Amino acid sequence: MALNLVERIEKLSTAIQPVTVEDSMAEAGRKILLSEFVKMLQHETGSRTGEDVEDVHDMRVATRKMRSLFRLLGSYYKKAAIQDYKVELRHLASTLGGVRDLDVLIDNIRAYQATLKPLQQADLQQAVDELDKQRESVRHELVEALDSRLYRRLVKDFSKFLTTVDEGAKALPKDEVLPVQVRHILPIMIYQRVAAVRAYDRVLAEADAVTLHALRIELKQLRYALSLFSEVLGPQGGEYVEAVKGLQDCLGHMNDGVVARTYLSDFLKDSHLAALTSYMASLEENETALKGQLIELWTQFNTRRAQQKLAYAVLALH
């Protein structure tokens, strides 16, 4: 008999276990994936109804973290064992992202709208109404995706995969001595991602939107590598994650502006609304301020003190 959503969440929650430094990377990954999968399911109902926009956000974050972990630890699993899950999670994350982008854009416009005079508010409402129609369309696509046979199969099969020890994991070599435990591998993985982020130091001052978006992705990968393994890292790791999050949030706000201009540019061509033109100008002003903030946050992130916090956090693995 198939489990309903509440029953499945309860059953999976009882199977969640803490990560240890002695875990193999594949086993640690399975534990982390299970925890994030439960979080994803916990926000499914709210994502369907749209009553709280944070449900879509939280469900999307959980799917992103699972995808990030597959990128981080995918080599420790048999390709055929995880390929379908990776594809389905990518599709789900994309569908959730379409709704989330419009949630953020509409909220930002409404916040700006509240600062205007009544007549200007009415002008801007036309844009809000059009965006709301677009959001209802992509929300319908999301509900269809959650109702699909593919999604039901993902939930069923992934549940089994995540609650079966060593399921899909590559066999460990018996005739070789290789590093396979979290305490041996994770420090290298973390510092590879730190290096990928800090490489942007030489281009940040003149970085365009494409480069900044790439940096945002690298920061996200670093943050997830740290937060997903927070159980086995020292407490200083949380402070370091906050520094990474500060950079990521700043870049995220800049990206929100890019997304807003993309959505609104076509609408602006067919409209002569002064309030909309004014909002577009405010986005450019905000971007200039955010660039200055980004440089300050970047400088703090690269200090010896900040990097020392990471070193102490990683030392807890020994």
pLDDT of residue 290: 94
Query: Is residue 1 over pLDDT 90?
Result: no
Annotate 63-85 with DSSP letters as a single string.
HHHHHHHHHHHGGGB-HHHHHHH
Q: Is residue 143 part of a domain?
A: yes
Q: Is residue 174 part of a domain?
A: no
pLDDT of residue 31: 98
Q: Do the Cβ atoms of 131 and 105 come closer than 8 Å?
A: yes
Averaged pLDDT, 275-300: 90
Confidence of residue 281 (pLDDT cuts 50, 70, 90): confident
Nearest to 189 by CA among 30, 34, 71: 71
**Residue range 235-252, pLDDT digits in tens:** 999 999 999 999 999 999
Q: Counting Cβ atoms within 10 Å, is residue 117 exposed (0-12), middle (13-18) or buried (19+)? A: exposed
pLDDT of residue 212: 95
Q: Is residue 31 part of a domain?
A: yes
**Residue range 21-31, pLDDT digits in tens:** 999 999 999 99
pLDDT of residue 268: 67
Q: Do the Cβ atoms of 180 and 24 come closer than 8 Å?
A: yes
Same domain, 282 and 138: no
Could you give the CA distance from residue 276 to residue 121 in angstroms, rounded to a whole number? 10
Provide the 8-state DSSP code for 24.
B
- Residue 99 sits at the vertex; the CA angle it makes with 196 and 114, to the nearest 5 degrees, is 100
Nearest to 54 by CA among 46, 62, 64: 46
Same domain, 230 and 158: no
Confidence of residue 6 (pLDDT cuts 50, 70, 90): very high
Averaged pLDDT, 252-259: 90
Determine the 3-state secondary structure of 169 from DSSP. strand
Same domain, 32 and 134: yes
**Residue range 117-147, pLDDT digits in tens:** 888 888 888 889 989 999 999 999 999 999 9
Averaged pLDDT, 69-78: 95
Same domain, 228 and 121: no
- Structure tokens of 153? 């199969």
Same domain, 134 and 263: no
Same domain, 192 and 60: no
**Residue range 192-249, pLDDT digits in tens:** 999 999 999 999 999 998 999 999 999 999 999 999 999 999 999 999 999 999 999 9
Nearest to 295 by CA among 203, 192, 193: 203
Torsion of CA 254, 255, 256, 261, to 10 degrees: 100
Query: Is residue 66 over pLDDT 70?
Result: yes
Our count of domains for the chain comes to 2
Could you give the CA distance from residue 228 to residue 208 in angstroms, rounded to a whole number? 30
Could you give the CA distance from residue 171 to residue 133 in angstroms, rounded to a whole number? 51
pLDDT of residue 280: 85
**Residue range 42-65, pLDDT digits in tens:** 999 999 999 999 999 999 999 999
Same domain, 215 and 144: no
Q: Counting Cβ atoms within 10 Å, is residue 60 exposed (0-12), middle (13-18) or buried (19+)? A: buried
CATH of the domain at 153: 1.40.20.10
Q: Is residue 176 part of a domain?
A: no
- Identify the domain containing residue 219 by its residue range: 181-318
Other beta carbons less than 10 A from residue 270's beta carbon: 8
Amino acid, res. 116: L
Could you give the CA distance from residue 141 to residue 101 in angstroms, rounded to a whole number? 14
**Residue range 96-111, pLDDT digits in tens:** 999 999 999 999 999 9
Determine the 3-state secondary structure of 181 from DSSP. strand
- Give this prediction's pTM: 0.91
Domain boundary among 106, 136, 168: 168
Query: Is residue 275 over pLDDT 80?
Result: no
Domain boundary among 134, 168, 202: 168
Same domain, 23 and 137: yes
pLDDT of residue 214: 96
Query: Is residue 2 over pLDDT 80?
Result: no
Could you give the CA distance from residue 32 to residue 102 in angstroms, rounded to a whole number? 29
Confidence of residue 270 (pLDDT cuts 50, 70, 90): low
